[in-house]
Amino acid sequence: MTPDALPLVRRVVTAIDSAGKSYLLSDAASPDQRTVRERPGFRSSNLWRTLGTPTPVAAEDSILDHHGVMPPPGGTVLRVVDFPPRPADLEERRRQAAASFNSVFPDAAHAKEHAQPGMHATLSIDYAIVLAGVITAIMDKGETELAVGDILIQRATNHAWENRTNKMARVCFVLIDGK
């Protein structure tokens, strides 16, 4: 049984008008919510991306053009992922991981044959900030449990995420293109 979903992520975007005054341009749920039918409760909300560095601060919103896990070349992507509790059955975890990578994150280097379902790598620096619940960060060698307020800096390493609790977990990810 999947616990109640977390509320949609609220995205508030600011801007500067023609008179040089700041204002709230938008205040709503992210326009880019992605779910995986085979993984009930899983939701990935892409919030913003930049297309290079330094980025024009007045650049138009292009998040609906974003596909996959990786940030654009030389850019960044801001995403919030809701993780449901993991299924007890290992084969079901494998099926759910494969469905997630095939549909939402096809550009990740998913290590399908790894003993840990969901093991993957991205050529990026990722800041993972736990917003709700508890999530386990798993490496090839070792793992750690992260709780609200904890931050993990992922440096293009092989990794996986598991929610080993009976409540939803929410993690904010800032991915920065790497080399």
Domains recognised in the chain with CATH numbers: 31-177 (2.60.120.10)
Nearest to 146 by CA among 94, 79, 81, 96: 81
Q: What percent of the chain has pLDDT over 90?
A: 96
pLDDT at site 4: 86
Q: What does the angle CA 47 – CA 177 – CA 72 come to, to the nearest 5 degrees? A: 55
User: What is the predicted pLDDT for the residue at 143?
Assistant: 98
State mean pLDDT over 59-81: 96
Q: Does residue 3 carry a pLDDT above 70?
A: yes
pLDDT category of residue 1 using cuts at 50, 70 and 90: low
